[in-house]
Structure 1
Amino acid sequence: MRVAVTGGSGKLGRHVVRRLTGDGHQVLNLDRAGERNPGLVVVDLRNYGEVVDVLLGLDDRHGGFDAVVHLGAVPAPGIIPDAATFENNMLATYNVFQAARRAGIKKVVYASSETVLGLPFDVDPPYIPVDEEYPARPESTYSLVKHLEEQMAMELTRWDPELSISGLRFSNVMDVEDYDGFPAFNADATLRKWNLWSYIDGRDGAQAVVRALENAKPGFEAYIIANADTVMNRSSAELAAEVFPAVKVTKDLGEHETMLSIDKARRLLNFEPEYSWRNHQPNIPAGASI
């Protein structure tokens, strides 16, 4: 396929571009940042004219796209003022969705967020493992935008029954070099309780994008995308009992099973995580004792 990837220079975006290119797709990165190369077009996603123009065609580069992967955004709360986060992310997503529709593109995959589930869980989740079945509970401006983006996707796919939009609720994206810090989490179970001790390896995040491009049906669906295990050495059942004692656990948890349920992504997208921090060999300085 011919695929436009917004935010392809970002932490997850680099994995997505690499995976799609490696799978044989024609990929163009639309971003405000990145080294000049034939695979990058500098685009301000807040400018609708620029977005629709590049999706319709670009001299000497392409004549249109079969799909759009939208990852370009302010990636977390607290990086810039709340109003600026709202303006940037909401406008960029509207522009990408609307421009894709105008260009006749029927397959859109985009980055929603685990935060719509109620992170940082200062109020207990309704049950564990959490899934896509309960209403969104945004607790920040960043998360509010992600929720509104999902609502917008529902309406756009209602207007156009052939349009497929997949909202991937990514967990905290990790690169291999981040895994060296994971053992420190074990000292305090509350350090990572804010997202139920979950994460997503960037390579598995890219796999989820591929699976959505391959398998998503017309309409809108949201999917939690996390790795199959937690960031902790302690068992999932023990963590849930200690930190969320009043919350119902709805299934027998595997020893390190994720508490952000990925059952829906497994069932509908054929997503299956391939990586785990547990298989990572930490970088140990020369001469250090183990």
Structure 2
Amino acid sequence: MRILFTGGTGKAGRHAVAYLAERGHRIVNVDKAPLGHQGVNDRLADVTDAGQMFDIMGAYAGYDEMEPGTGVPRFDAVVHFAAIPRLLMTSDNECYRVNTLGTYNVIDAAVKSGIRKIVFASSETTYGICFADGERKPEYLPIDEEHPVVPEDSYAMSKIVNEVTARSFQRRSGFDIYGLRINNVIEPHEYERDFPDYLANPDTRRRNIFAYIDARDLGQMVECCLKTDGLGFQIFNVSNDHHSVDLATTELIDRYYKNVPAAEMGTRETFFSNKKAKKLLGFAPKYDWRQELAE
């Protein structure tokens, strides 16, 4: 596929871009800084500028595309990850502005350019737990895509607005637009660096609902979305299968969620349910922290 990927230079994006490129997709990475990945074309642009987004949607991926003399090819898909990536990096209103306006511009340009597959990054923070003032418990476990989303912070608010924006574009266009509520992204080198502390201090993982997503599995999730057509507007949780701490499900519930209604779950089954992605997309996360620490 010929794919326009925004935010491919960021922590989550660079692994997804690498995953897609290794599988033969043609990628144009739109970011404020180049990725420099072999075989990926970088375009420096600001997603909050509508003109730049419209221009790039109709631009060549590289000089080689000029050779046939048949005009600019159309992108097969847009993957939108570009954003202020977390709270407390910019002012709150700037975070909200960049994330909401950027998403509007990218989806608007994609739809008006006739690109029928759009995948965008939402967030685990939409459930209101990660950046809550104090402790917020889920209403039930495991958290699925039907769980209420009532965040308190500008970052998560922007992600909720983006989901509503995407739903509206999908309703008018009929295109496939899938949003990914991505859990805490873990890069390969972070297992050895960070997980010993997570295992020793499980309290540090409460705000992430004790879940995570390996950056390489996130790449697989994006490709699953690209390969699956006809679902219209969908939201998917994105996580690995197991908790990020060395405690059983029952132990975590007893310690942190004693009064929270809980379905019957596996011994190490993630509280951030990925069952919908598995069922509708064939998502099959491969990486597990136990395996990574053992290597």
Alignment match of 2:92 (pick from 82, 88, 111): 82
Which stretch of structure 1 is more off in the superposition, 179-188 or 260-269?
A: 179-188
| 1:34-183 alignment, distance < 5 Å | 34=34, 39-58=41-60, 60=63, 63-120=73-130, 122-161=135-174, 163-180=175-192, 181-183=194-196
Map of 1:18 onto structure 2? 18
Map of 2:249 onto structure 1? 236
Distance in 2, Cα, partners of 1:19 & 1:34: 17
Map of 2:68 onto structure 1? none
Deviation at 1:188, TM superposition (A): 3.1
Map of 1:202 onto structure 2? 215
Paired residue type of 2:190: D
Deviation at 1:123, TM superposition (A): 2.2
Paired residue type of 1:274: K
Deviation at 1:231, TM superposition (A): 0.9
Determine helix, strand or coil for the equivalent of 2:16: helix
CA root-mean-square deviation: 1.7
1:84-103 deviation digits (Å, cap 9, x = unpaired)? 10111111100000000111
Distance in 2, Cα, partners of 1:223 & 1:105: 21
TM-score, with length taken from structure 2: 0.91
Deviation at 1:270, TM superposition (A): 0.6
Sort the Cα spacing of 1:185 and 1:83 in 2 relative to 1 into closer, same or farther, 3 A. same
Deviation at 1:267, TM superposition (A): 0.5
1:159-203 deviation digits (Å, cap 9, x = unpaired)? 112x11100111000111111221212333321111211000000
Judge conservation of contact 2:78–2:119 (CA < 8 Å) in 1: yes
Distance in 2, Cα, partners of 1:191 & 1:36: 34
1:195-218 deviation digits (Å, cap 9, x = unpaired)? 211000000001000001111424
Sort the Cα spacing of 1:68 and 1:53 in 2 relative to 1 into closer, same or farther, 3 A. same
Deviation at 1:27, TM superposition (A): 0.8
TM-score, with length taken from structure 1: 0.92
Judge conservation of contact 1:31–1:43 (CA < 8 Å) in 2: yes
Paired residue type of 1:193: R
1:51-94 deviation digits (Å, cap 9, x = unpaired)? 11110123735533010000111111111110010111111100
Paired residue type of 1:173: V
Judge conservation of contact 1:127–1:247 (CA < 8 Å) in 2: yes
Which stretch of structure 1 is more off in the superposition, 179-188 or 145-154?
A: 179-188
Determine helix, strand or coil for the equivalent of 1:248: coil
Runs (4 or more) in structure 1 with deviation over 4 Å come to 35-38
Distance in 2, Cα, partners of 1:206 & 1:246: 36
* Pair 1:254 & 2:256 matched: no
